[in-house]
Amino acid sequence: MKTTKHPTELTDDEAAAIVDAFDDAPDDSYVVTQQDALIELRAAAAARRDAESRIEAAALRAHRDGAAWGVIGTQLGMTRQGARQRFERLVNR
């Protein structure tokens, strides 16, 4: 069986199956009783992916519109060099 290290999308049924697998495991040291926490975690991770995508698109647009890396970095709470290192690869696509 092939698995991925970090699945990007799980359905509610798949999350429930994971919870059930933990709950049915012979070792009682780890039991998940609230699948709501996993559902919220999955939703938060999806929101983070969406936010990262929006940030990348906005940074690329700002750079193409003439904003310097220092200005972009300031808007994101990072240095000019940090912004350039993070987003320059997008410019060269």
Band of residue 11 on the pLDDT scale cut at 50, 70, 90: confident
Q: What is the pLDDT of residues 17-40, one digit of tens each?
A: 777 776 676 666 666 667 788 888
pTM: 0.61
pLDDT at 68: 96
pLDDT at 52: 95
Burial zone of 86 (CB within 10 Å; 0-12 exposed, 13-18 middle, 19+ buried):
middle
How far, in whole angstroms, is CA 79 from its chain's centroid?
A: 22
Q: What is the pLDDT of residues 68-88, one digit of tens each?
A: 999 999 999 999 999 999 999
**In this structure, are residues 59 and 72 in contact, taking their beta carbons and an 8 Å threshold?**
yes
